[in-house]
Chains A and B, each alone.
Chain A
Amino acid sequence: MDKNTEKMIRQTAERLRGEILKKKVPSMDFPLRSLDNVLYDKKRGYFEIGEKVKERTLSVNTVKTFAQTVRLMALSHEIVRKDDMATKREAYYVSKNWGEARFLEQPESDAIMDDIEAHFRVNRERLGFIPEEKGGEVAGKLVVIDKDPDSGKPLRIDCTKFGSGAYSIPIACEELEFETKASFILAIETAGMFQRLVKHNYYTTANCVLVSMGGVPTRACRRFIRRLADSKKVPVYAFVDGDPYGMTNIYRTLKVGSGNNAHLNRFFCVPQASYLGVTPQDIIDYKLQDATHPLQEVDVKRARDALKNDPFIKTHKPWREAIEQMLQMGVRVEQQAFAKHGLNHVIEKYLPAKLKHPEKFLP
């Protein structure tokens, strides 16, 4: 399936064998995966992995992880060769056959899988490992062109034809093609808000594509939005809760990718996205003061941490101001808060008003 992956793994294995035969201590390097090894460049628009590398040289302390890394690489090699796939969970269970070298908990195997991805600078799907996470849902003015698994013929999926349901984003979306005349894509945090907009045919009214992210968007979801937005030149607006989590986790990840997998963000981010709301200023503009909740300790911590450490937030002055405003107000607001003015206030008033001035959206 993926000759390139096979070749990369074989090359690394050959190098290790060569070092061992030369009586050297074998070693592998992995880019350091943490926020302090993440670079953000406005022009590029996504998190990039920095220069920092951790060297895993075989030693008493590393022998276990080293052995597990080699074995997991071997597993990946075999999966790719046989054109098969394994979920992260399955890969974890395969290790149970490795005796002493087995993983005790799945986070252990996930971490090593991340190491291998980073080492080869590829996403895990290309290593034959797939995540179990759901990709998100889509409804609206969009036709997805997929392939029929049996005949291989193009399959046209009209995203307006799911009634009160929605199209489910597949885990691998590289092969998909799109047809759309939508004027924007609205990425929504909660399934509840997505349902309301679908129910009231908002995508027809506003001529848009609705995507439900269900919290922090998965890689597949980000990739889907990115490919759609890139190929059809459609703007992307995020509509999430007005709290630190919505801003610095959900939106930040959608736009520039995650800190933990910075080596993959080039593909798994949506740099053209902007933040529609809910903003702290909206609380004032739309008189939501009595529909807010006080910031919890964890919210405050998250906000302060973002101001201090998040390269994305630090780069953008409007974001720093928004977060500081929120901290100063000491409250958070949810998407559903507009129901205070009536259930469909969000459709009838809020979104149309906001959409008149996309240039005012937070970057």
Chain B
Amino acid sequence: MKKKTTIAKARQTGPAKTPEAGKPAAKANGKTPAPVKPPEAATEADRMAAKQREISVSEFFLKNRHLLGFDNPKKALLTTIKEAVDNSLDACEEAKILPEILIEVKQLQEDRFSVVVEDNGPGVVRDQIPKIFGKLLYGSKFHAMKQSRGQQGIGISAAGMYGQLTTGTSTRITSRISPKKPAHYFEIQIDTNRNVPTILKDEEVEWARAHGTRVEIELEAKYQKGRHSVEDYVRQTVIANPHVTLTYLGPDGAKEEYPAAARQLPVAPREIKPHPHGVELGILMKMLKSSTSHKIKAFLSRDFSRVSGRVAAEILRTAGIAETARPKAIAHAEADKLYRAINATKLMKPPTDCLSPIGEDALLRGIKQNVEADFYTAVTRPPAVYRGNPFQIEVALAYGGKLPAEELADLMRFANRVPLLYQQSACAITRSVIQANWKNYAVDQSRGALPSGPLMIAVHMASVWVPFTSESKEAIASYPEIVYEVKLALQECGRRLDAFIRRGRREAEARRKKDYIRSYLPHIGMGLREILHFNDKEEKKILDLLTNVLEKSRK
């Protein structure tokens, strides 16, 4: 496994940092005991400063585990697996290896489980292993816009820390980068105060794999089948990643194997520069500060997409800023003017060839292999843009077969090939599915509800930046452009489904009619025979002619 994020310790974590003189007084409000002695402000500030200390990322995580998807034991199990699998898939794809992944969940005690995720990826070099698995890292994606599974860069280390906090055990890693090199085995814990790895074991071991990584984490968890289950996650992951070969060993001894439905890696997504219209003021200021350009005009055309020299000049003219101003020297007021000027300027839409959708064929193969149905269809929409971010919507639909006929449709949501299991009702995808009028497509739907019937709907959003409604990455925000695109894709699938259902109904009706006709026609022959006294042969001839005439007429 390989972490694609850069280390940026505690930058966003908040209140830590060394106290600056002058500020603490304000900060201390409410914390200090009631009767405050006014005399020497400095003394008081000193006293308070002494109380303030750095809060480690790990500590912060401990208190805010819900933000990262560890709010309950059931979800913790899923999040741990998900983090490990996301890393494995990203690593394999970057190394151009068709991923083969093993997921194993073992039950140790009633509320204690062990999770193993093993891949055939490129492996991790020895020195990197402790840092990747034993240190909480932050990702920064403002400058590098690229479609990937993880956007925030909280990696497997968060899962490892959760395990360590709930069971006191270490994260166990085996990794090998080449058949010519030995495999390394590590047992690692996180020093939660300092956010650095503690290595408990570091040895060379025999390992059958030529290259790959295996990580094992013990954690307090709850295993449950049904909605939001590991099985659900595994099945959905396979559907959205048809190039993956996956084996899942459940705690009850069940073994599920999913051979790859596609033998080709997806096209690697391209990294693009941010589009000016998708950038917020805060980010703009950060970009200004960290820019290596000496002149603001160069900054604009170099660090953004779709800003030519001419356009940059136009923006600066509107903002009233000199083209030669130093980016680092742009003050807050000027940044605000610049921000307004950017949004007032007409710009080309961002490039959209940077996305890597699953594709209609692969998506179809994925659902056909995992859902037993009578009808399948998939639509990949052309790329579109919301707030300067390119995105692309795909919908796959399965109908009939073994899908439960009496229930609401089974809706699967994916963002950059990752299944979204929680917060269905808050998601733009769900909203779009409900808004699409399924009755037009011969499918039942109650007001304000998902359609019902033997129906499975999978919706995938690929984007350089998926707008989640919260940190826990469970629901997509309802930008009108996104809802619109999802609806268009659903409607296209719906029309195809409608044609299928109606054809099926027509055929059933025709069969019914045929049976009906055949049960009454002989009586006409019999009746005529009784009156006219003809022989068997003629009766048969009459019946054949009648059958022909009537079935042809189809009236």
Contacts and interface: CB of A to CB of B under 8 A. Distances in A.
Contact of A24 (B513, B524, B532, B549): B549
A21 B542 contact: yes
A14 interface: yes
Given A59-B553, A60-B550, A13 B528 contact: yes
A354 interface: no
**Max chain A Cβ within 10 angstroms of own Cβ: one of B520, B534, B541, B546:** B520
Contact of B546 (A20, A77, A78): A20
Contact of B523 (A24, A26, A60, A98): A98
A10 interface: yes
Contacts of A182: none
A185 B545 CA distance: 58
B526 interface: yes
A317 interface: no
Interface string B311-340: 000000000000000000000000000000
Contacts of B532: 10, 13-14, 17
A63 interface: yes
B550 A13 contact: no
Given A20-B542, A20-B545, A25 B531 contact: no
Given A71-B523, A100-B520, A101-B520, A61 B530 contact: no
Contacts, number: 84
A41 B266 CA distance: 88
Contact of A68 (B523, B541, B554): B523
Given A25-B550, A59-B555, A67 B523 contact: yes
A322 interface: no
Contacts of B520: 63-64, 66-67, 100-101
B545 A21 contact: yes
A23 interface: yes
Given A20-B542, A20-B545, A58-B546, A63 B531 contact: no
A67 B524 contact: yes
A323 B534 CA distance: 58
Contacts of A63: 516-517, 520-521, 550
Given A60-B516, A63-B516, A71-B523, A25 B553 contact: yes
Nearest to A12: B531
B519 interface: yes
A13 B545 CA distance: 16
A198 interface: no
Interface of A is mostly: helix
Report, as a range, how many residues of chain B touch the other chain.
20 to 34
B515 to A, nearest CB: 10
Nearest to A61: B555
B125 to A, nearest CB: 76
A23 B548 contact: yes
A85 interface: no
Contacts of A77: 530-531
B480 interface: no
Interface string B489-531: 0000000000000000000000001001101110110111011
Interface in A1-35: 9-10, 13-14, 16-17, 20-21, 23-26
Interface in A182-231: none
B531 A74 contact: yes
Nearest to A13: B531
Contacts of A25: 549-550, 553
A101 B531 CA distance: 17
B549 A23 contact: yes
Contacts of B523: 67-68, 70-71, 98-101
Contacts of A20: 542, 545-546, 549
Interface of B is mostly: helix
B200 to A, nearest CB: 80
A142 interface: no
Contact of A66 (B513, B524, B548, B549): B524
A303 interface: no
A100 B554 CA distance: 21
Nearest to A101: B523
Most chain B beta carbons < 10 A, residue from A9, A10, A58: A58
A158 B524 CA distance: 50
A73 interface: yes
A253 to B, nearest CB: 33
Interface in A251-308: none
A101 B525 CA distance: 12
Interface residues of A, number: 31
B546 to A, nearest CB: 6
A74 B527 contact: yes
Nearest to A67: B523
A98 B523 CA distance: 8
A17 B530 contact: no
A101 B520 CA distance: 6
A19 to B, nearest CB: 9
A60 B528 contact: no
Contacts of B516: 60, 63-64
Nearest to A14: B532
Contacts of A100: 519-520, 523
A108 to B, nearest CB: 14
B234 to A, nearest CB: 50
Contacts of A60: 513, 516-517, 550, 554-555
A101 B516 CA distance: 11
B531 A73 contact: yes
Nearest to B554: A60
Nearest to A25: B549
Interface string A43-64: 0000000000000001111011
A200 B550 CA distance: 67
Nearest to B541: A21
A51 to B, nearest CB: 25
Given A9-B531, A60-B550, A77-B531, A71 B517 contact: no
Nearest to B555: A59
Which of B517, B527, B541, B546 is the most central at the interface, judged by chain A CB atoms within 10 Å of its CB?
Answer: B527
Interface in B199-246: none
Contacts of A73: 527, 531
B527 to A, nearest CB: 3
A21 B549 CA distance: 11
A99 B555 CA distance: 24
B476 to A, nearest CB: 51
Interface string B31-68: 00000000000000000000000000000000000000
Contact of B550 (A10, A58, A74, A98): A58
B548 to A, nearest CB: 7
Given A20-B542, A20-B546, A58-B550, A78 B530 contact: yes
B524 A70 contact: yes
A157 to B, nearest CB: 39
B294 to A, nearest CB: 85
Contacts of B553: 25, 59
18 contacts: A10-B531, A16-B524, A16-B528, A17-B528, A21-B541, A23-B545, A24-B549, A25-B549, A25-B553, A60-B550, A61-B555, A63-B550, A64-B520, A66-B524, A67-B523, A70-B523, A74-B527, A74-B531
Given A17-B534, A73-B527, A99-B523, 8 more contacts: A17-B528, A17-B532, A21-B542, A63-B516, A63-B521, A66-B524, A70-B524, A70-B527
Task: Please list the 7 inter-chain residue pairs (A to B) with the smallest Cβ-Cβ separation, ordered nearest first.
Answer: A70-B527, A67-B523, A74-B530, A13-B531, A74-B527, A101-B523, A71-B527
